[in-house]
Amino acid sequence: MTSNKHRAARQLLLQESFGILSTISVDVPGYPFGSVTPYCVDRDCLPIVYISTIAQHTRNIIANSKVSLTVVEAGDSDDVQARGRLTILADARPADRSDKDIRDRYLRYFPSAVQYDDTHDFSFYRLEFVKARFIGGFGQIYWLSRDELCLRNPFSSMDEARIIQHMNMDHAAALSHIAGNASTEPLTMTGIDAEGFDGIQSGRKRRFYFERPIRTMEEARQILTSMSRPAAKTI
């Protein structure tokens, strides 16, 4: 069973959208090169990045696949060390260009990336997990294995797409209620997994957690209905 510390690390990975991707430089051999990179996770909860073939990172990855991705909890505090941090050590592997699931999922999370989709200049890379270091606050510092951090999505790509389409097309009021704020901008669902769902509102990612893990389409319907009350009809 997943412990609270494992869940806290996974929540940080899932709630954020950007991290510092570091690769081993080919221009300055032996030194790490880092820059801010958007990411989402695949169905195995592994980070996916989308980078140009001419980017420094791509050149570095081709020479040495060992990378790290550091994710820092967003917040207003000036003390960045008071925020949660997660560093994933991984091997960057190019995703199959025919993998429609990775493409569709990434473009839901980053719609503006569609402008690069028709070119061969950008490619998806999956960060194959090796180990992770999580710092969640005083006394909350530990290493995590892949099995401890990653939780496979129980929904197939087809079932996830069905839920997302149904919620966005038929239950906008329910999503607005779940969003629970005064913004007039709609919340668009972008993904769902065992522990919660993601959406984009006013151009920013938002993560919503379930009160209990779910595994089936019926459980998804029940928990989304419960979260949306008293909005509109049953989902």
Set out the domains of the chain in order of their start, with CATH numbers: 4-149 (2.30.110.10), 157-228 (3.20.180.10)
Average pLDDT, the chain: 92
Per-residue pLDDT band for 181 (boundaries 50, 70, 90) equals low
Q: How many angstroms separate the CA atoms of 210 and 43, rounded?
A: 18
Task: Map residue 183 onto helix, strand or coil.
Answer: coil
Per-residue pLDDT band for 1 (boundaries 50, 70, 90) equals very low
pLDDT tens-digit readout, 184-213: 789 999 999 999 999 999 999 999 999 999
**Do residues 87 and 127 lie in contact, with contact meaning Cβ atoms separated by under 8 Å?**
no
Element (H, E) at 172: helix 172-179
pLDDT tens-digit readout, 54-86: 899 999 999 999 999 999 998 776 777 778 999
Q: What is the pLDDT of residue 226?
A: 94
Closest CA to 126 of 155, 112, 105: 105
